[in-house]
Structure 1
Amino acid sequence: MATAIAFDHVRKAYADGTVAVGDLSLEVREHELLALVGPSGCGKSTTLRMANRLVEPTSGRILLDGEDVTDVDAVALRRRIGYVIQNVGLFPHRTVEQNVGTVPRLLGWDRNRTRARTRELLELVGLAPDRYARRYPHELSGGERQRVGVARALATDPPVLLMDEPFGAVDPVGRRRLQTEFRRIKDELGTTVMLVTHDVDEAVRLADRVAVLSRGGHLEQLSDPVRLLAAPASPAVADLVGTGAAVRLLALGRVEPRDLQPAGGAGPVSANGRARSAVLRVGDPLDAAFAALAAEPTGRVPVHEGDRVVGELDAPGVLAALHRLVDGAQDAVPSRAAGQPEPSAGARG
């Protein structure tokens, strides 16, 4: 797979001797969502901001589509890269439509093209243009402002999108909804995304791969979410993941036909005589399957594919699917970026 962004032995040190990022080598693949996680002060945001030169690296190279970012005018570079932050940073005196059209106007797009693109993006992020285009930021909820921020970052269809705690200021229910919606948008557009988050749940739910950083910007582990949860590469990663790995894995697994029992025992009416409220389908996440089983006294829930029932899921089926995830992760060796040294126990920023 092609590389969209490459960090080649990148270091960031400040005049007072603080090392925010030590010697980081990391590749972000084209079209993937890579999440950066780690404790406070580990250099996550610094790493992200070096990619668009909001922070200048002390040494090393950062390549965007093979081009050294330090060889590109910083302002021109930032117009090529979408950027979303936690507090959005919308212009309070401009309407939603004007905020989303900021970069197109700076690039000289005509009014009709800018307006058409703005309305297209508002539809994409779930904000009806006729209802929201003329509103001002203070008239929006936190989640709506965040959606406008995402639309603004995508206005010129940038190949790369940098996101720094983008959903952190949104309430938990709205945050989950935004995460789901954003993943849909990202998959639809094929954008390459680097996401900084302190939330491991958010990282494993959204990311194709997760990079765990420790103090000084040292890369502890780089892997897919299942491998991260099932086979932490170091004590630091295990400590970050915590004791909730099994629950998080349920959200990553999917109901598959091989986990089902033959249909026949679970009809449309449950054991207490009421119609079943849960409807499971092949491909549903295992956490939804677990919730459906918990609400069903018979311990078996019918699973649909299209218009037909293809089998029934029970607790052993969920457990088998979970074991398969874990076994697949443990069979593989946790990966690191090419050339990245083993993390030092004494690494510090």
Structure 2
Amino acid sequence: MAAAIVYDHVRKEYQDGTVAVDDLSFEVREHELLALVGPSGCGKSTTLRMTNRLVELSAGRILLHGEDVTQADTVALRRRIGYVIQHVGLFPHRTVAQNVATVPRLLGWDRARTRSRVGDLLELVGLDPDRYGRRYPHELSGGERQRVGVARALAVDPPVLLMDEPFGAVDPVGRRRLQVEFRRIHRELGTTVVLVTHDVDEAVRLADRVAVLSRGGRLEQLAPPVSVLSSPASPAVADLVGSGAAVRLLSLARLERADLSPRDQEDGRPGAVTLELGAALDDVFAAIAQAPGGTVQVRADGAVVGVADADTVVAALHRVTAAAPS
């Protein structure tokens, strides 16, 4: 798959001698969602801001679709890249619709085209244009403001979207809801996304691949979430993942027919707890914990194809980790 962004021996050293990023090299693939995760001070946000030149590089190159960003016009570059931050940065004196329309108006779009685009984007992020378009930011909840921020960043269909702790200021319930919604949006649009987060759960839940950074902006591991959780590449990654790796894997893996052994094939039992083949393993585990006898029926296309128990979940985890790419 082609690279949308290439970080080529990137370095950022400040005037006081602090090295925020040191010799960082990796690629972000076209249409993928890549999460940058690591402890505070590891250069995640600095790396993101060098991409749209809110922070200038000290050395190395960043290529956006083959173009060196340091050679591009700064204003034009930033209009090509969507940018979402934790506290959104909406204009308080402008309505929701006016906020979303900011870049289209700067680019000279006519009113009809702008109005249509704003309406489509508000619907995309789950906000009714008729209900929310005329509201001001102070009239919105934190989650609603964050949705508006995403809509504004997507206004002119940028090929790349940079997100810096985008859901960090939202309460846990709202944050989970936004994560689910954003994953849906990403699947629908296919925009290349680089997401900075300190939350490992968020990184593995949303990302196609996870880049784990350590202090000084050093790349410790770049791999799919399952690989980061099941096979940490260094002590720094293992420390970041912590003891909750198995629990996180449960939320990523799905129950497959191969996980059910032949002895598990049963006819439907009236009143039995059931779930669908393809359910996330954490949902399977929760159902098993509540089911009489510790087993649940598994259905596919309306028919019972087997039952699942604790051994089934363990077998599924072994399958997922064994198949994880390096």
TM-score (norm 2): 0.97
Runs of 5+ in structure 2 lacking a partner?
A: none
2:248 match? 248
1:290 match? 285
RMSD between aligned alpha carbons? 1.2
Secondary structure of the structure 1 residue equivalent to 2:291: coil
1:264 match? 266
Runs of 5+ in structure 1 lacking a partner?
A: 271-275, 335-349
Give the letter aligned to residue 25 of structure 2: S
Structure 2: distance between partners of 1:306 and 1:106: 51
1:342 match? none
Deviation at 1:325, TM superposition (A): 1.7
Instruction: Say whether the 8 Å CA contact 1:104–1:155 is kept in structure 2.
Output: yes
Instruction: Say whether the 8 Å CA contact 2:267–2:304 is kept in structure 1.
Output: no
2:130 match? 130
Within the candidate set 296, 321, 326, 1:326 is matched to 321
Instruction: Say whether the 8 Å CA contact 2:268–2:304 is kept in structure 1.
Output: no
CA deviation vs aligned residue, 1:77-125 (integer Å, no higher than 9, x gap): 0000000000000011111111111111111100110010000011111
Give the letter aligned to residue 31 of structure 1: H
Name which of structure 1's ranges 298-307 and 170-179 shifts more when overlaid on structure 2: 298-307
CA deviation vs aligned residue, 1:120-150 (integer Å, no higher than 9, x gap): 0111110011111111111110001000000
Deviation at 1:265, TM superposition (A): 5.7
Secondary structure of the structure 2 residue equivalent to 1:168: coil
1:30 match? 30
Within the candidate set 274, 291, 298, 1:303 is matched to 298
Give the letter aligned to residue 281 of structure 2: L
Name which of structure 1's ranges 197-206 and 305-314 shifts more when overlaid on structure 2: 305-314
Secondary structure of the structure 1 residue equivalent to 2:97: helix
Structure 2: distance between partners of 1:48 and 1:323: 35
- Is it true that 1:313 corresponds to 2:273 in the alignment? no
Structure 1: distance between partners of 2:148 and 2:122: 7
Structure 1: distance between partners of 2:105 and 2:163: 22
Q: Deviating runs (4+, > 3 A) in structure 1?
A: none
Structure 1: distance between partners of 2:199 and 2:267: 41
Structure ranking higher in helix proportion: 2
Structure 2: distance between partners of 1:157 and 1:212: 28
Structure 1: distance between partners of 2:187 and 2:150: 14
CA deviation vs aligned residue, 1:149-205 (integer Å, no higher than 9, x gap): 001101111110000000000111111110011001001100000000000000000
Structure 2: distance between partners of 1:320 and 1:119: 47
Secondary structure of the structure 1 residue equivalent to 2:42: coil
Instruction: Say whether the 8 Å CA contact 2:213–2:221 is kept in structure 1.
Output: yes
Instruction: Say whether the 8 Å CA contact 1:210–1:228 is kept in structure 2.
Output: yes
Give the letter aligned to residue 266 of structure 2: G
1:344 match? none
Percent identity over the alignment is 75
Give the letter aligned to residue 127 of structure 1: L
Structure 2: distance between partners of 1:298 and 1:134: 55
